[in-house]
Amino acid sequence: MMKKIATIQDISCLGKCSLTVALPIMSAMGIETAVVPTAVLSTHTAFSGFTFCDLTDEIDKIKEHWVKEGFEFDALYSGYLGSFRQLELIKSFFATFKNDGNIIVVDPVMADNGKLYTGFTPEFAKEMKKLCDTADIIVPNLTEAAFMLDIPYREDYDKEYIDDILIRLTENGAKKAMLTGIGFEDGRIGAYAYDSETKEFFYYTREKIEKSFHGTGDIFASTLTGALTGGFSFEESMKIAVDYTVECMKVTLEKDPECWYGVSFESAIPFLLKRINKI
Ligand code: PXL
């Protein structure tokens, strides 16, 4: 039977992030992708003047119907969530569909480069941490990790500081934490992860591209979730997600450098399918 993921995040109608990247990426990876849209925005929040239609009231209704139909999922994956109430509803959604064989992935989308995105507060970050505590795998960037742990954001980190963050992120229930955007050598960047059950650390980097792109966190988390659901190991899934994210950035610089609001992940899909041995 085909593997199935349920992903819970907003639809930013234009902007190449959240559901408009998670759905095509995980579908292309050969996984059935069910969606729970939490809001509809005309664009992501880096644009000014975006519209916003809240769909919080639909979350429980969708859940109840899926329960009645007897649906089960191989992975439950949440991304951008916009309110305290949504955090509570997602906890209940996870508790309903969690079983012995599936995984919960939480990407605590809230912040980057030391700053919270429009609309988020430090209090929200602390509540998001509690959702993370219910997950098998969490994928914050360093800014999100710092807000969730209520510690200062540092750009000049060393391995000891990052090890400590990963351990603290997994102290209250989250089994594995993967920090994105980490590199200990000049000119390298990638992911650094910790498995609290085996006490193993995992580190994988590529050449650093000196430009910051919007939406790459969502691409990373979607690819990671797709690879894990497809049966790749934790470490291999991390490498696949780093490699595809880098490829998306490279293709954007080559083919679409004017596009400031998202990356050309579409052009790099053949790369991803080769990388996971599908073509
Ligand atoms: O890429 C993360 C993301 C998702 N959804 C919305 C956003 C952002 C980042 O800014 O604004 C609505």
Q: Can you tell me which atom of ligand 1 is nearest the CA of 117?
A: 10
Q: How far is CA 129 from CA 8, 11, 110, 145, 191, in A?
A: 17, 23, 11, 9, 20
Distance 15 CA to ligand 1 centre (A): 9
Using a 6 Å cutoff on CB, does residue 81 contact ligand 1? Answer: no
Using a 6 Å cutoff on CB, does residue 108 contact ligand 1? Answer: no
Using a 6 Å cutoff on CB, does residue 144 contact ligand 1? Answer: no
188 touches 203 (CB < 8 A): no
What does the block give as tokens for 180?
């994105």
The CATH class, in words, for 4-275 is alpha beta
Q: What is the pTM of this model?
A: 0.98
218 touches 262 (CB < 8 A): no
Angle at Cα 242 formed by Cα 266 and Cα 33, nearest 5°? 50
Q: Please list the pLDDT of the chain residue by residue as tens digits (279 residues).
A: 899 999 999 999 999 999 999 999 999 999 999 999 999 999 999 999 999 999 999 999 999 999 999 999 999 999 999 899 999 999 999 999 999 999 999 999 999 999 999 999 999 999 999 999 999 999 999 999 999 999 999 999 999 999 999 999 999 999 999 999 999 999 999 999 999 999 999 999 999 999 999 999 999 999 999 999 999 999 999 999 999 999 999 999 999 988 899 999 999 999 999 999 998
Starting at the earlier edge strand, list the strands of the sheet with 176-182: 52-54, 32-43, 4-14, 75-78, 103-106, 137-138, 176-182, 188-195, 200-207
Q: Which of 8, 9, 10 to mutate to test the pocket of ligand 1 (most atoms within 8 A of CB)?
A: 10
Distance 44 CA to ligand 1 centre (A): 5
Using a 6 Å cutoff on CB, does residue 80 contact ligand 1? Answer: yes
